[in-house]
């Protein structure tokens, strides 16, 4: 089939590579326009655009997928299908109708669970034991279209959302190619999603990543891993923001009793109280500084007895 691939971030690149290596023809790539990012606010090109240009594939970067020039070019290309992985913009009905097999999204959850922008982060934070990826035909609703196929992936006890997303991006690429194969030979029939088991996964904002120390240790652990690497879990110490790398619940902790957010620093470990139990910090990144071991940070700031991270 003739394909126009739509995607933007790094997790979409394995799917682009897999489709290029398949019998199908990737005629063009659609990705979000270059944008300013980082501390220097420099203009950054999307990972998908970078890879497409390396492969010599035409790149389309409409401000909006309803732009007339983009729609005209898509009609000229006349793709059989438009596979999508984390493109980052809603596809309007006028565009959905152009390819004969529609737009087929690879979504990193077992739909109808975790519909939305951050399914992997929400699965980790919720403590799910199994997740996966689903291919489905895009329609007007939010991740509500009929399903072509799925794969499952176990969530490991120490997975961050970054760890899990990496595995899903690799495994999901094979699923997306298999879905294109099935559409090409007519062996796939989409199945409507179940009406029960629906959950939503809205984008995780920076404010959502502030650690709530009044929650139990297991919930703190999941929150931090779910927000790693993005947007990054954080707390405030002496009114200054500190980024937190994954923490470790310590059920065998035998030190002094700690209130939620209260810190105690030893020579080799830093512990923090929660709403139920204690966690050990692994590494931190103070604002404007490099990542460092928690014990090194504690020695530098000289934590006083009773000092704590804020959780307000």
Q: Mind listing the pLDDT tens digit for each residue in 287-303?
A: 989 999 999 999 999 99
16 phi and psi, to 5 degrees? Answer: -60, -45
CA distances from 94 to 98, 177, 202 (A): 7, 25, 25
Contact of 263 with 307, CB cutoff 8 Å: yes
Average pLDDT, the chain: 96
Distance CA 293, CA 281 (A): 8
Distance CA 127, CA 147 (A): 25
User: Which of 122, 155, 124 lies closest to 246 in space, CA to CA?
Assistant: 124
**pLDDT value, residue 310:** 86
How does residue 37 score in pLDDT terms, banded at 50, 70 and 90? low
> 161-185 and 13-21 helices cross at what angle (nearest 10)?
30
**pLDDT value, residue 40:** 62
pLDDT average, residue stretch 199-226: 97
CB count in 10 Å sphere of residue 247: 26
Residue 7 has pLDDT above 80, yes or no: yes
**pLDDT value, residue 211:** 98
Report the DSSP beta bridge partners of residue 237.
Answer: 240
Residues whose CB is less than 8 angstroms from the CB of residue 200 and which lie 6 or more positions away in sequence, other chains included: 114, 115, 116
Q: Mind listing the pLDDT tens digit for each residue in 82-105?
A: 999 999 999 999 999 999 999 999
CA-CA-CA-CA torsion sign (52, 57, 59, 60):
negative
Q: Mind listing the pLDDT tens digit for each residue in 180-197?
A: 999 999 999 999 999 999
Report the DSSP beta bridge partners of residue 82.
Answer: 103
Residue 311 has pLDDT above 70, yes or no: no
What does the angle CA 136 – CA 129 – CA 117 come to, to the nearest 5 degrees?
40
User: Which of 90, 105, 101 lies closest to 15 in space, CA to CA?
Assistant: 105
Q: Mind listing the pLDDT tens digit for each residue in 45-93?
A: 999 999 999 999 999 999 999 999 999 999 999 999 999 999 999 999 9
pLDDT average, residue stretch 143-151: 97
pLDDT average, residue stretch 103-114: 98
Report the DSSP beta bridge partners of residue 250.
Answer: none
**pLDDT value, residue 306:** 94
Contact of 106 with 176, CB cutoff 8 Å: yes
How does residue 35 score in pLDDT terms, banded at 50, 70 and 90? confident
Return the half-sphere exposure (C-beta side, CA atoms, 13 A cut-off) of residue 170. 6
CB count in 10 Å sphere of residue 87: 23
282 phi and psi, to 5 degrees? Answer: -100, -60
**pLDDT value, residue 38:** 61
């Amino acid at each position: 089939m003739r394909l126009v691939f739509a995607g933007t971030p790094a997790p979409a690149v394995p799917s682009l590579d897999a489709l290029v290596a398949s019998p199908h023809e990737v005629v063009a790539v659609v990705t979000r326009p270059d944008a300013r990012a980082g501390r220097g606010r420099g203009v950054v090109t999307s990972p998908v655009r970078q890879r497409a240009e390396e492969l010599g594939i035409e790149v389309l970067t409409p401000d909006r997928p309803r732009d007339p020039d983009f729609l005209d070019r898509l009609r000229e290309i006349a793709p059989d299908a438009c596979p999508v992985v984390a493109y980052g913009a809603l596809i309007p009905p006028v565009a959905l109708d152009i390819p004969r097999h529609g737009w087929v999204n690879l979504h990193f959850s077992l739909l109808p669970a975790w519909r939305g922008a951050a399914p992997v982060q929400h699965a980790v934070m919720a403590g799910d034991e199994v997740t996966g990826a689903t291919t489905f035909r895009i329609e007007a609703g939010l991740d509500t279209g009929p399903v072509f196929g799925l794969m499952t992936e176990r969530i490991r006890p120490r997975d961050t959302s970054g760890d899990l997303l990496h595995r899903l991006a690799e495994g999901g690429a094979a699923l997306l190619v298999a879905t294109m194969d099935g559409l090409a030979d007519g062996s796939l029939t989409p199945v409507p999603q179940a009406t029960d088991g629906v959950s939503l996964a809205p984008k995780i904002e920076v404010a959502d990543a502030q650690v709530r120390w009044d929650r139990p240790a297991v919930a703190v652990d999941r929150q931090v891993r779910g927000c790693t690497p993005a947007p990054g879990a954080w707390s405030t110490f002496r009114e200054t923001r500190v980024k937190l790398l994954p923490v470790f619940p310590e059920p065998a902790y035998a030190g002094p009793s700690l209130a939620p957010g209260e810190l105690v620093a030893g020579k080799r470990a830093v512990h923090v109280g929660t709403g139920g139990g204690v966690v050990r910090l692994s590494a931190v990144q103070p604002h404007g500084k490099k990542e460092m071991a928690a014990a090194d940070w504690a020695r530098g700031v000289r934590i006083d007895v009773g000092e704590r991270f804020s959780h307000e």
